[in-house]
Structure 1
Amino acid sequence: MSYHDHSDHQYAKNIRAGAPAAFKAFLAFDQAALSGSDKVIPRKYTELMAVAVALTTQCAYCIEAHTKAAHAAGATQEELAETTMIAAALRAGGSYAHGFMAMKFFDQAEQASVA
């Protein structure tokens, strides 16, 4: 059994049936954010940002859809590679920054055990 099957998107109908108002609102928001008529950011850059977010959230479906959309919008393989490395750096940076919290909690635990 695979957790991610390409055909899993067929289950969107279950979400749509179970929460129709929220589903409709989500689709409208998604459409407005990614390709609304009032967008200032060019489509290629919107899609590259979407790829970066998809890489950090590890959404396989989003990675596929937005990579293909970025290609269609004129993104190059080099731009996709740079986007990938930017996403990796920020993901790693997040771990590093959260390490500050871990160090703080360790210090707090250390101080509590001494008291």
Structure 2
Amino acid sequence: MNWTKFLDETMGRIGSLQAQTPKMFEGFNTMGKAAKKSGALDEKTKELIALGIGISTRCDSCIGFHVKSLVRIGTTREELCEALEMIGYMGGGPSIAYSAKALEAYDEFAAV
């Protein structure tokens, strides 16, 4: 999978939905800003949690968005793989398969 192309296409679809449902996106964006605000947990920890949820719910878009954020904030491949171990442990075989996708996305985004 080309993760960059996939996320670009996803953003196009989301943009079309947002044009039709601006109030929903306004609320979602407000909730996102509140959830992402650094406090007792830093941004990296929150993004790793979000990635774990994205993997456990089998959401390719979520995996792409959160891995891209993790690369942006300087998460190392070693940190990601350690998180993927925990995600695989908690989610079993399906989470391991989706963790492999997350690692593939990391390698693509980190190479840019």
- The normalised TM-score by structure 1 is 0.63
Paired positions, count: 88
Q: Tell me which residue corresponds to 1:82.
A: 82
Which segments of 5 or more consecutive residues in structure 1 lack a partner in the other structure? 93-115
Q: CA deviation at 1:9?
A: 1.8
Deviation at 1:10, TM superposition (A): 0.6
- Equivalents in 1 of 2:61, 2:84: separation in Å? 16
Q: Distance in 2 between matches of 1:33 and 1:45?
A: 12
Verify the 8 A CA contact 2:54 2:62 in the aligned structure 1.
yes
Query: Runs (4+) of structure 1 moved beyond 4 Å?
Result: none
Tell me how far apart the structure 1 counterparts of residues 54 and 18 of structure 2 sit (CA, whole Å).
22
Higher relative contact order (CA 8 A, sep 6+): 2
Q: 1:13 to 1:75 in 2, by over 3 A?
A: closer
Structure 2: stretches of 5+ with no match in the other structure: 93-112
RMSD: 2.3
Q: Please say if 1:39 is aligned against 2:35.
A: no
